[in-house]
Structure 1
Amino acid sequence: MQLRAEEITERLSGEAESFAEGVEATITGIGAWVQDHAVEWSVGILAVAAIYFVLRILRGFLFGLLHRKKKSETTWQNILARVIRATKSLFLLLFAAAIVLPILVSLDEEQRQWMRWIFVIVIALQGAFWARVVITAFLERAASASSSHGDNSLDNALGLLNVFANVLVFAVAIVFIISNLGGDPTALIAGLGVGGIAIGLAAQSLFEDLFAGLSIILDKPFLRGDFIIFGDKMGTVQKVGLKSTRITTLQGQQLVVNNSKLLGYEINNYRRMAERRIVLRLGVTYDTPRDTLAAIPGGIRQIVEAQDRVRFDRCHLAGYGDYAILFELVFWVQDRDYAVYMDIQQDILLGVHALFERNKVTFAFPTQTLHIDSVPEGMKPGR
């Protein structure tokens, strides 16, 4: 037992001596390396620091020179200024090191390889930041242009579009980094594809509504302020969201409809009408004189043509009904607003009523006439 303890003690002592010799050799090697390369590395680090501070000053100067606060952030000049501002300080530092160190410092192949890898990572990420700024600026520019024409749908979706753009840009940057570091990006892409399928199946309804919202935003079957009819419902579009659309009905309540469900209907959009065609049928009683009947179409035409924003089409005696002589009036209201259409139709109907009063024409309504023949003398009751 005592012999076993002595063996363990000797082994531990030997390992301690080996570790101490290794540490001493490492320190000696570092000291020798510092002694041999201290001057050139000092000069290199000072040069890197100097160029780095110059680049930072140049970045601030160019941004201040190009940026215009009184102009839109989506002008070309301000977009370029935003790109300059998005240049990260770490990129400037590594850019300065990549320029200076290979010239002033003696680097072995392993050190050069490490520098190349680090620079690839940083330049890829910096490129992603630049691309993100440019894409965001173009999306903001497109949203601003749409808003100026009364379409706020793209502005509503700007947040989601920015998220999609950022994911795409940084995914490309990661694939670029893996590819340039000697890795195989296909495995990562396949993994992301499988993960995307799993997420898509788990949140299928959510993604259906999101993509339906993007479809509404890009295809524009209707815009904010449009009066639409879908299924048995109708109303004015108040907001096109990413998951749902909010519609104010004629009764005044707000109707929230999932985008995917809304696109499943045939949508009648009344805002897209340049004109609204109106067909009215009027009935007068059968005891109206023939000359009066012949004058009715001309009188109604004068009433219609006296209205603003109305184009007369025709007015004819259209047929004989069960209890009325029927006239058919067709005209076009040259305004898509529903309230304007109702006001014009009201004025025309009141004018027709006044015309009929002046000419003593009676509007027909459902009536029945009972004819009773006389009973022969021999068939009277009680005989």
Structure 2
Amino acid sequence: MNPRFSFDRMIDEATLWIGANWLEIAIATAAGAAIYLLLNLVRGWSVKLCQRGEGAASWYSILGRAFGRTGQIFMILVAARLVVGYADAPAWLTTTIATLFTISAVFQGALWAREVVFGAIEHRMRDQEHNSRALMSALGIIRLLVTISLFAIALVVVLSNLGVNVTGLVTGLGIGGIAIGLAAQGIFADLFAALAILFDRPFRIGDSISYDKGAGSGTVESIGLKSTRIRGGPGEERIIANKKLLDFEILNTTRRLRNRFKFEFVIGYAAAPEVILKIPGLLRDAVESEGYTLIHGGVNGFVSSGISYDVEFESKEADFPPDARDRVTAAILSRFRDNDISFAYPTQVNLLAEKTKPDPPAQVREESGRA
């Protein structure tokens, strides 16, 4: 088809359409302008919404920034798409507006999604515990990866809506992504592990943790893009890759809701039965006098030196005072002394059999009788 002929035909159709529907076109134009102004007002309100939150990383601010990224072209095409059917527009005009609206909507959605993803990451990183320089610098890499991913998806969606066969493009992107992933799998593994720590929060800076079944322990000092630094009890600094650390079972002792202590003691077998029955009450009184809760205090079994007892008590606080066990032990000793109860000492008694002359054999006794 001759492009010149097609263009002239479009001009003729447009002239006839305007002449026959000038009133509807004027009303549709006014309605479109009103819709455009309303969308601008909504965008302006969303920008003001950014100032309502507690900071740049609040959800109000995140949503406000996302809608504040709405483009003028997108708003114009939204208004045109809503009013184009009112004036009985030509097919070519309706198709053109629909196509442009689809392209604009897809890329606008990618912009909104990017702002929400960035805002969600910043929302997680706003806490002072996670506000490390390494993770903040990693945000630039994350932004790049998210932007490339979202706009690559948007491009594929647009081409698919335009009737282009995107199978080869998707295959190429997939192969390229696999190649990059294999080449930098170590970097990506540590990066995603850092993001897992950031979002899942198994520990924070300042938490006391143990890992690898208790083989390592210490206080978290910093969480970086590739590794986490832990200060051990003796004072050494341990640097562990994020991925390796998350492969271990991590015990976070800072977040426990309560704390328990348990110890045992033994009293002698010479204790009277009424003393055995009296001891649990004394243990409860001693523990509760120090402000703790007795979980169990009673006979645990029999041992070689006496009757074994165990005492288990807890505090509703996360940490015990350093002298908690000392004070509870002193309270138990005081009550035992008041009731003349003594502890058993490890002793060993050796029983020696009396040495006697053995009886002679029966045959010897018979011969002696004959004699």
**TM-score scaled by length of structure 1:** 0.59
Distance 1:53 1:346, change over 3 A: farther
Question: Unaligned 5+ residue runs, structure 2?
Answer: 16-30, 84-89, 354-371
Q: Which amino acid aligns with 2:308?
A: F
Structure 2 CA distance, aligned partners of 1:230 and 1:218?
20
- Is 2:230 the counterpart of 1:247? yes
- Is 2:313 the counterpart of 1:319? no
Which shifted more, 119-128 or 301-310?
A: 119-128
Q: Which has the higher helix share?
A: 1
Q: Alpha-carbon deviation of 1:198?
A: 1.6
Q: Which amino acid aligns with 2:324?
A: I
Q: Alpha-carbon deviation of 1:177?
A: 2.6
Q: Which amino acid aligns with 2:170?
A: I
C-alpha RMSD over aligned residues = 5.3
SS at 1:290 equivalent: coil
Judge conservation of contact 2:32–2:82 (CA < 8 Å) in 1. no
User: Which position in structure 1 is the counterpart of 2:169?
Assistant: 188
Q: Alpha-carbon deviation of 1:116?
A: 7.8
Q: Alpha-carbon deviation of 1:309?
A: 3.4
Structure 1 CA distance, aligned partners of 2:202 and 2:63?
35
Q: Alpha-carbon deviation of 1:303?
A: 1.0
Structure 2 CA distance, aligned partners of 1:187 and 1:210?
30
Structure 2 CA distance, aligned partners of 1:222 and 1:326?
43
Judge conservation of contact 2:258–2:319 (CA < 8 Å) in 1. no
User: Which position in structure 2 is the counterpart of 1:344?
Assistant: 324
1:47-58 alignment, distance < 5 Å: none
Judge conservation of contact 1:279–1:328 (CA < 8 Å) in 2. no
Distance 1:134 1:372, change over 3 A: closer
The superposition leaves residues 27-72 of structure 1 with CA deviations (integer Å, 9 ceiling, x where unpaired) of xx9xxx9xx99xx9xxxxxxxxxx9999997766544445242435
Structure 2 CA distance, aligned partners of 1:95 and 1:329?
75
Judge conservation of contact 2:258–2:318 (CA < 8 Å) in 1. no
Q: Which amino acid aligns with 1:202?
A: A
User: Which position in structure 2 is the counterpart of 1:128?
Assistant: 110
SS at 2:178 equivalent: helix
Q: Which amino acid aligns with 1:131?
A: A
SS at 1:262 equivalent: helix
Judge conservation of contact 2:52–2:61 (CA < 8 Å) in 1. no
Q: Which amino acid aligns with 1:166?
A: T
Judge conservation of contact 2:210–2:216 (CA < 8 Å) in 1. yes
Judge conservation of contact 1:247–1:255 (CA < 8 Å) in 2. yes
User: Which position in structure 2 is the counterpart of 1:23?
Assistant: none
User: Which position in structure 1 is the counterpart of 2:216?
Assistant: 233
Distance 1:113 1:299, change over 3 A: closer
The superposition leaves residues 291-320 of structure 1 with CA deviations (integer Å, 9 ceiling, x where unpaired) of 596465543332112222322412227433
User: Which position in structure 2 is the counterpart of 1:169?
Assistant: 150
Q: Alpha-carbon deviation of 1:200?
A: 1.8
Distance 1:290 1:326, change over 3 A: closer
- Is 2:245 the counterpart of 1:265? no
Judge conservation of contact 1:318–1:327 (CA < 8 Å) in 2. yes
Identity of aligned residues (%): 30
Q: Alpha-carbon deviation of 1:325?
A: 3.4
Judge conservation of contact 1:63–1:82 (CA < 8 Å) in 2. no
1:78-117 alignment, distance < 5 Å: 81-89=64-72, 91=74
Structure 1 CA distance, aligned partners of 2:233 and 2:198?
24
- Is 2:184 the counterpart of 1:203? yes
Q: Which amino acid aligns with 2:330?
A: L
Distance 1:199 1:97, change over 3 A: same
Distance 1:76 1:251, change over 3 A: closer
The number of equivalent residue pairs is 317
Q: Which amino acid aligns with 2:108?
A: Q
Distance 1:113 1:227, change over 3 A: same
Distance 1:137 1:320, change over 3 A: closer
SS at 1:207 equivalent: helix
Structure 2 CA distance, aligned partners of 1:206 and 1:135?
21
Structure 2 CA distance, aligned partners of 1:123 and 1:299?
76
Structure 2 CA distance, aligned partners of 1:308 and 1:139?
43
Structure 2 CA distance, aligned partners of 1:217 and 1:151?
10
Q: Alpha-carbon deviation of 1:280?
A: 0.9
Distance 1:220 1:53, change over 3 A: same
Q: Alpha-carbon deviation of 1:204?
A: 2.1
Judge conservation of contact 2:228–2:242 (CA < 8 Å) in 1. yes
Distance 1:335 1:97, change over 3 A: closer
Distance 1:268 1:367, change over 3 A: same
